[in-house]
Structure formats: C-alpha cells, structure tokens
Amino acid sequence: MDRKADLPPPAASNHLIRSRGIDSNLTSSSSSSSSSSSLPPPDFLHQAIAAYKRHRPFGGMHGNIKRATRVLVPQTDLQKGINSSSSVTYNEPGKAFPLTRAVLESRKFVSETNDHAENRATVVAELQEDASITPPSVGGTLTAIGDNKESNFELQKVNIDLLADQKKSSIAVSSYQVPSLVALREDEIKKENSTSQSTLMTTDSKMENISSYLHSLALTEPEGYLGTQLEIKDPKLQGHGNIEAFGTSMKYGGTILSENRKEPNHDQCYRESVTRYSVVGSSSATALSVNTGPTIQSTHAHPTAQMSFTTQVSSLAREMPSGSKVLVSSGEQVAVRNDPDWQIDNRHNVHLAEKVNKELHDDANCPPQPPLPNNLSSGIEASHPQPSKVEKSRQKKKYDPNVFFKVNGKLYQKLGKIGSGGSSEVHKVISSDCTIYALKKIKLKGRDYPTACGFCQEIEYLKKLKGKSNIIQLIDYEVTDKILFQAVANDLGNIKDKRIKDDEFIYMVLEYGEIDLAHMLSQKWKEIGTPGWRIDENWLRFYWQQMLEAVNTIHEERIVHSDLKPANFLLVRGSLKLIDFGIAKAIMCDTTNIQRDAQVGTLNYMSPEAFRCNESDANGNTFKCGRPSDIWSLGCILYQMVYGSTPFAQYKTFWAKFKVVTDKCHQIGYEPVSNPWLIDLMQRCLAWDRNERWRIPQLLQHPFLVPRVPKELVLFADQHPSKLIVERISTYWNDPDVSRLCSQLHEVIEKLEKEHKDPTNVPVDSNVS
Ligand SMILES: Nc1ncnc2c1ncn2[C@@H]1O[C@H](COP(=O)(O)OP(=O)(O)OP(=O)(O)O)[C@@H](O)[C@H]1O
C-alpha cells in the first residue's frame, strides 16, 4: 500500500522556512497549517514525549498537524523511486539519475532554490514537516549547487546557523549530529564570517576521526540519522578515505555535503531516527545538545534501536566532564545545563527543554519497545510486553552494550572488530574525545582463577612498559570480576580451584595500530614474481631494526615475550610496536631463564627449547626458555621477510615440526640472496644451540644493519672482503660448482679493483664487460 497516499497534504511553516534561510515565497503554493510552534508549549512537550515513546510522529495524533511525506514512503516505493522510470530528472532534461531517497530529497530541496516548480511541493512538505513537528535547532541555507554529474552528490555548501551566543563564539555544528562531535572544538573550526549564518570549515585531522565515527554509526546504528551538515573545505580531505565514511553515513539519509561524493548504494534503505542530536562547541567548553522530538518516522525505523540510541546519548551526556554544557533542545529553543554563563534568551523555553531533557533521561529507564513489523511501524500503537532480561540489563547499564564498551566508567563506541586471538576479541573503538583505540576484551566466564590471573599478567607487563615508545601503550583497563582483581593484587588463596561463573571480562584500552607486520608482509609478497623484483633491503633494514629495538626494550625489563610473530608487531604512526604480552614471562632475578607451565608460542616461530621447555636432554640438562628463545622467533620472522615463508613452514603437522625443529642436525636451507650478510644474520638468530645465538645488542651492530666497510677492511687486513665473502659462501654450499663460481667472482672483483686504482692498467682483452 502506498502510505504516502494516505497522508494529509503537507503544510508549510514560514517560521521554519525563515530559520532555514529559504525564501518564504517558495512556500506560497503550499497550504498553510498549524505548526508545533503554534501549540501551547506544555502540549507540545507532552505530545513530543508521548510520540517519542510511541516512535511515531505525534503529528498523527493531532489532526491538523501534518506528517512528513518523505518518511512514510514504504521501501517498495522508495525502490520504485530509485529504480523505476520515475527517477528524478535533474537540471539536464532527459537525464535520469537513480538516486536514493536522501539524495532525491536533497535535490528536491535544491531544486526549490532553482525554481523547479514540479518539485516545490515536496520541498514544502519537507520544510513543513520540520516546522510542524520539530523545528530544527539549527538552520541551514543551501547556497551552492554543484553540477549533476552522475553518481556524485552535488550539494557543495551549506551554511549553518550559529546556535549560540555570538559573543561566546559558540558554534552549532549541525542540526543532526552525533555525540562524538563534542570534540569538534571551536579552535578546530573557523568561522568564515561573523554573521549569524556562518559556514563551518574544518581542516583538522579530527575530521578523520569524526568521519570514522560517523561511518561507525552508519554501521552500528543503521537507524541513526547521520546527516551532518559540514562543508569540507580542505582539498586534502576531498576524495580522502574519510570522505568515504561520510558517504557511508549518507546512505542512511543524511545530507552530508561534500564534493564528488559517491552515489549511495541503492540497496541501503532510507532511515531516520526519531531523535536528533546536535552538538555545540564553545570557546571554553564543549557541549552536547540532544534535539528531541519525533521529527520523522521511517517505515523502516527500528524503534528499539531508536530508543537505545537515545539512551546512549543521554548516557553520553552524563559521561561528559563537569564543565561541559549539556544542551537539550526541543524545537528550535535550547536549554543549557551546568553553565550559568550561557546566555538564554527565552526562559520559558529553557524550562520546556529541561523538562524534555528530564523526560529523555527518564525514558532511558523505560523499557524499550519491541520492534514493530515494518508494515505496522507507523500509526499502530505497540503493546508493551515485559522487558526481557537483556533489555533489563540494558536499562541497568543505561547504554547499549551492542554499541558501546564501558571501561572504568568511560564509554567507547565500537567501530568494528579488528581481530580475535586465542583468548580475546579486539575491537576498534572511539572515545568521547574522538580518539581511536583498540579495545581488547577477554572473556573470563568458565575460566579458572589461575588462568584468569595469567590474563591479568599482560596488564602488569604493559603497566611496567608504560612510556616505552616501541611497546603498545595501555590507556586504561578494567577487570570486572572483583574477586579476580583482588586476587591479582594479593594472593589466589582458596580460589585457586574455583571457576568464574558470571559474565566477567577484562577490558584493555590500547593504543591503536593501523596494520600489523603480517599484513604488511602479505602485501609485500604480492610483489614477488613481478618483473625486476628483488628484496628491498632498505625496507628490511628499517623494520628489522625496529623489531630488534622493541624486543630489546622488553629484554632489558627482564621480560621474555615468547610469542613473537609478525602479527604481534603493529604499525603505529609509522613505527613498529610490540603487542600481546598474553604469554610473556618475567625472568626471575637469579636466573636468565623462565619456567613454563605449558608449551607456548606459535609453532612456526617456536624455538627448539620452547618445543621442549622444561624437558631434559640426554645429559640431564633442562631445556629452558629465555631471551634466546625470542631471538629464534625473530630469526624466523626475518627468514619470512626474506624468503616469504618461515624456515619450517613446509612441515605442516605439529609432530613434523616438533621433530625437525628439535633435531640438532637439521640444516635450515638458505637460498642465495644478493647480500650475503643477510644470510649470516639469519644464521646468527637461528643457531640451534641457544647459547650460540646472538643477543640483541650484537644483532643491532650486525653488518647487515650497520655496513662497516672501512672497518672490515682494517679487521681483515690480510683478507680481501670479496675473498671473505666467497669463502663463507663456499662453506655454506659446499658445492664444487659454487666454489668455482665464487673463485671466478673473486678474480673479477680483484681485477676491477686494480682498474679502479690505476685506470691506465686496463687489459686490452678484458673479458669484464
Ligand atoms: N592495539 C591494537 N591495535 C590494533 N590491532 C590490534 C591491537 N591489539 C591487537 N590487535 C589485533 O588483534 C589481534 C589479536 O590480538 P592479540 O594478539 O592481542 O590477542 P590474543 O588473544 O593474545 O591473540 P593470540 O592468540 O594471537 O596471541 C592481533 O593479531 C591484532 O591484529
């Protein structure tokens, strides 16, 4: 059924149109009607709250208040609008663009300014909707319209009203925003001019975080209305990845404006949240404004999600620092809390908005409503079944755990799962100050206390390594199981044999790494086989040195990592940092080795002694793991960086690996490489006998990293370097052909050197070309 057909004709509000900066004569063709602003405020408030709770436009409850037309178009109609011949033809007659609803409307809106009479009614309807139901707290004026290149989003500029007192230079970022924009402080936003309609500009890298946040909201909160009216002025940002993030949020109906935006995917349905969010920044503090009011009811909106989103924002508002301004606006009026300095124009509206705020907060304690079937989502009263357990816990938590993590009272919005290890999940998150972190969540349920204590050990190591630039930094952590928390600090005592029964977790907020070495390597190895490919020695040196330094840092702190592998080196702002101290062990003061309770590590990188840790050899000597075990792992990583696979990769099963790695007589194969020092370096790390392995300070001085040509010449005064190299190579290959070739090479090098010293001494019949 076409719901649009059921709707009363749209009405316009001059008031709103003014606030949006649209010439009021554009509305002349529309029927006039009442607006919310014409209702006595308490009625408005009650209706707003009641409708909000019902998740449907309260216009519907009031005969003469018109519903928004755009949001009541069912998906099928939307699809029709997009896919069928009814696509909007724009500017260039005859050229049809398949557009999503959001784009269609934006263009209609634009078309109004272009005097496209046919679209005028729709624009009016949109304006009326805002006017009669929820006047926006911030008005915008579309001032520039781009061309209509296919698949681009044309609107290029939106002027945004200043919401707050000019003297205080507070800036309203947009009418529909997200909480994390609180970090968009005034010093990161320049006003283009000082009139009440100023164009926001931001060129700061915060944009990346914000866009990424929006992106995440688009992903995690499909019902959220993510339109953010920001003009992106910085050419660097145009076409940058973060624009894509905006593009994604636009899919959900936002009017985020930037040049050359890609057309949203038609498969994405158009959704809007009942609740709108707005953020105000001031010179002295940041503020969060929550614009309530059932503005739009999408046929696809998910009431539970809307509720939870509201709850999250309320919760975020509570999380904000005490100096922050929490604004709640109902309609275009804004109330300011916690800040006596804030200029308030209209006391009544402050009162009104505060009431709305209170209701909003009360709402967070109301049971969320179950989702309505799509076809019933507007106009039908939902029944209120008892809240489920999950819902109850959500109410208790006052934030949606599907969207946020709470660590030590701070909320972190999930941006997506990065990876999961043997015992944990790692998520990309964003904090309220728009910083991206990695959040490691270790599930404790079902684990015994000694194991859980082992997990906490990682926190101890990271605390010990705080401030070390080549170790991932622990920002915050929480152990939700209080018994465990105390046991770690004191003693396991009588809980040794007990298990954790409840849903308890360890949360660790960590510095975020962009990519790990494993992924970098797999990218690098795609180049293999391309014509002219050869090992990039400088690339190798650059990262090898950083790896050595990172491991040296922990060795100096008497910590053995025990699980060194490419995935545990993360690139953070261009530098490699070490992560995952899950199985690291501290070296006792009176020894250089560690005792292991169980076999640990990742097979391909495990040293012979790690395979046989704590066992005894034929002579009764115990295999112990210590720093050399980490050196072996580094050797395996270097081998992988040089050849593309670890030295024992061809042995697939555990036992095959065990056998070959623990076999003292097994010879690791080294294919020739352009720089023989590289082979020497690998051999220094992969010596079977752990006592023969070089230590990190030596490795940092190895000729591969520190070419010492003059020093070498002095050191081997009686030996020509080429001879030395040739000798070493022939030793390794022990092959007459290799020896012969090496001798020839040596002769050639000597000849060349003679020529270099005395250019007149060039043999006439030189076979050196
Ligand atoms: N700080 C971080 N920034 C970005 N990604 C991270 C971060 N920490 C971990 N990861 C990603 O999450 C994955 C798993 O993390 P981690 O290795 O710490 O977990 P684990 O349970 O100890 O894993 P494993 O079983 O491999 O030892 C890593 O391989 C890495 O890709």
297-352 pLDDT per residue, tens: 222 333 333 333 333 333 443 444 443 333 333 332 232 333 333 333 334 333 43
Confidence bin at 391 (pLDDT 50/70/90): low
- Residue 63 tokens read as 């005969």
- Distance between start and end Cα atoms, the chain: 85
- Residue ID of nearest Cα to ligand 1 atom 13: 419
Residue type, 29: S
Grouping H, G, I as helix, E, B as strand and the rest as coil, residue 505 is strand
pLDDT of residue 550: 97
- Residue ID of nearest Cα to ligand 1 atom 20: 421
Cα separation of 134 and 295, whole Å?
Answer: 5
- Residue ID of nearest Cα to ligand 1 atom 11: 419
Beta strands at 155-161 and 197-198: parallel, antiparallel or unpaired: antiparallel
> How many other C-beta atoms lie within 10 A of the C-beta of residue 271?
26
Q: Is there an atom of ligand 1 within 6 Å of 105 CB?
A: no
**Which residues are the active-site residues?**
563
pLDDT digits over 72-94, tens only? 333 333 333 333 333 222 333 33
Candidate ranges 594-598, 649-653, 682-686; pick with highest mean pLDDT: 682-686
pLDDT of residue 757: 66
> Does the annotation flag 440 for ligand binding?
yes
> How many other C-beta atoms lie within 10 A of the C-beta of residue 347?
9
Residue scoring higher pLDDT (503 or 363): 503
Distance 514 CA to ligand 1 centre (A): 12
| Arithmetic mean of pLDDT, 184-213 | 36
pLDDT of residue 420: 82
Which neighbouring-strand residues pair with 414? 429
Give residues with Cβ within 8 angstroms of 487, minimum separation 6. 449, 453, 493, 495
pLDDT of residue 507: 95
| Arithmetic mean of pLDDT, 529-547 | 87
Mutation to probe ligand 1, out of 415, 420, 430, 440 (largest number of atoms < 8 A from CB)? 440
pLDDT of residue 397: 64
SS3 content of the chain, % helix, strand, coil (to 5): 40, 15, 45
| Arithmetic mean of pLDDT, 253-280 | 29
pLDDT digits over 223-261, tens only? 333 333 333 333 443 333 222 222 222 222 222 222 233
Which atom of ligand 1 lies at the shortest distance from residue 422's CA?
Answer: 25
Edge-first strand listing for the sheet containing 333-337 = 171-172, 276-281, 286-292, 325-330, 333-337
Q: Is there an atom of ligand 1 within 6 Å of 424 CB?
A: yes
Q: Residue 619: is its pLDDT beyond 60?
A: yes
Q: Residue 60: is its pLDDT beyond 60?
A: no
Query: What is the DSSP secondary-structure string of 133-174?
Result: T---SS-EEEEEE----TTEE-EEEEEEE--S-TTTT-EE--
- Residue matched to tokens 């304690």: 365
Distance 419 CA to ligand 1 centre (A): 6
Confidence bin at 69 (pLDDT 50/70/90): very low
pLDDT of residue 139: 30
- CA-closest candidate to residue 411, choices 420, 421, 400: 400
Give residues with Cβ within 8 angstroms of 399, minimum separation 6. 311, 312, 315, 316, 406, 411
Q: Residue 215: is its pLDDT beyond 90?
A: no
Q: Is there an atom of ligand 1 within 6 Å of 458 CB?
A: no
Q: Is there an atom of ligand 1 within 6 Å of 487 CB?
A: no
137 Cα distance to chain centroid: 30
Long-range residue pairs from 711-720, CB within 8 A, at least 24 positions apart, any chain: 720/746, 720/749, 720/750
Q: Residue 278: is its pLDDT beyond 60?
A: no
Distance 262 CA to ligand 1 centre (A): 33
- Residue 364 carries which DSSP code? H
Mutation to probe ligand 1, out of 561, 579, 581, 633 (largest number of atoms < 8 A from CB)? 579
Cα separation of 462 and 579, whole Å?
Answer: 9
pLDDT more than 90, % of the chain: 25
- Residue 201 tokens read as 């500009």
* Average pLDDT taken over every residue of the chain: 59
- Residue 543 tokens read as 């990262």
Confidence bin at 274 (pLDDT 50/70/90): very low
Decide: 169 and 186 in contact? Cβ < 8 Å: yes
Confidence bin at 116 (pLDDT 50/70/90): very low
- Residue matched to tokens 């409840």: 502
Which neighbouring-strand residues pair with 186? none
Q: Which helix (DSSP H) or strand (DSSP E) does residue 435 occupy?
A: none
Q: Is there an atom of ligand 1 within 6 Å of 423 CB?
A: yes
Candidate ranges 290-294, 351-355, 580-584, 672-676; pick with highest mean pLDDT: 672-676
Mean pLDDT lowest for which of 170-179, 344-353, 544-553, 632-641?
170-179
- Residue 394 carries which DSSP code? H
- CA-closest candidate to residue 295, choices 644, 36, 117, 554: 36
pLDDT of residue 333: 27
Confidence bin at 582 (pLDDT 50/70/90): confident
Confidence bin at 721 (pLDDT 50/70/90): low
Confidence bin at 532 (pLDDT 50/70/90): confident
Which atom of ligand 1 lies at the shortest distance from residue 512's CA?
Answer: 3
Cα separation of 762 and 754, whole Å?
Answer: 9
- Residue ID of nearest Cα to ligand 1 atom 24: 421
pLDDT of residue 66: 36
| Arithmetic mean of pLDDT, 509-534 | 86
| Arithmetic mean of pLDDT, 467-482 | 93
Distance 420 CA to ligand 1 centre (A): 6
- Residue matched to tokens 């006792």: 588
